[in-house]
Amino acid sequence: MKETNLPSVYSRLLRDHKRGYKAVAVLVDPDKTTEDQCDELLTNALLHRIDYFFVGGSLITTDHIHLLVERLRKQDSIPVLLFPGSNLHIDPKADAILLLSLISGRNPELLIGQHVAAAPILRRSALEVIPTGYLLIDGGRQSAVQYISNTTPIPHEKNTIAVCTAMAGEMLGLKLIYLDAGSGALRTISPSMISAVRRSIEVPLIVGGGITDADTARKLLEAGADLVVIGNGIEKNPELLSEVSQKVRAMNAALNVHE
């Protein structure tokens, strides 16, 4: 791992969860981001004090994930986390990897199979591995993850299924729960599902999919998410980054929780 003054990524997530700090991650899709766009995004993210970069996609067809990770890691304050669609998306230069297990689905390859193949590579790397229970929730249209993973998302309004799945993931030892409505979702995860899951687990909770305005980000964080992830929304409207950051910083200030 790079020499840095930051605590490890997971201890930062856990500490922030315990003190009620609300955070924002920008999802960088290697297929949709040129090197110039990446530099611009980095400048913007530093200016507006975004908390994390997630790098990944369900399918990556270009080969510059390594270049992007390298560029994003030219700074020390925003950790770069791999958000992999498969075990082909491992870059040893990132700070950490969300080792996703797709626990809402019943595809053994994405529950444990790919992890077996990835294990020796991860062990040899200096990447911080964060075991993550990944739940795909219906977001109103078929997402890339749903198609690629060949799994059925949890229905939008079935909070109990999401709660029991998240609890089982936590009991199995997963250190984060990620509720994803899918990239470009027409509707985000509902605040009621977020609060129900929040009340049932102790580990930090990540929520993403279909967030296109700052007020929605605020509502999902208020419902109990610790961290919201935004990809398409910022790709389509770069101003959203500063809007969300302002809103979330105001929330943290009102809660008297400091960066």
Ligand X SMILES: O=P(O)(O)OC[C@@H](O)CO
Is 29 annotated in some ligand binding site? Answer: yes
Quick check: 180 binds ligand X (CB under 6 A)?
yes
Quick check: 208 binds ligand X (CB under 6 A)?
yes
Ordered DSSP codes for 119-157 = HHHHHHS-PEEEEEEEEEB--SS--HHHHHHT-PPBPTT
Is 209 annotated in some ligand binding site? Answer: yes
Q: Which of 211, 225, 241, 244 binds ligand X (CB under 6 A)?
A: 211
Structural tokens at position 197: 């899951």
Quick check: 209 binds ligand X (CB under 6 A)?
yes
Structural tokens at position 48: 């507006």
Query: Are the CB atoms for 102 and 134 separated by under 8 Å?
Result: yes
**Min CB(19)–ligand GRG separation in Å:** 28
Q: Which residues bind Mg ion (CB under 5 A)?
A: 29, 57
Q: Which residues bind ligand GRG (CB under 6 A)?
A: 29, 56-58, 83-87, 90, 99-102, 110, 114-115, 118, 134, 144-145, 148-149, 183-184, 231-232
Structural tokens at position 67: 């270049």
Nearest to 188 by CA among 133, 237, 230: 230
Is 147 annotated in some ligand binding site? Answer: no
Ordered DSSP codes for 51-99 = -EEEE--SS--SS-HHHHHHHHTTSSSS-EEE--SSTT---TTSSEEEE
Choose one: 112-120, 161-169, 209-217, 243-251; the region binding ligand X (CB under 6 A).
Answer: 209-217
Site for ligand X in 22-41 (CB under 6 A): 27
Structural tokens at position 140: 């109103």
**169 or 209, CB closer to ligand X?**
209
Binding site for ligand X (CB under 6 A): 27, 180, 183-185, 208-211, 229-233
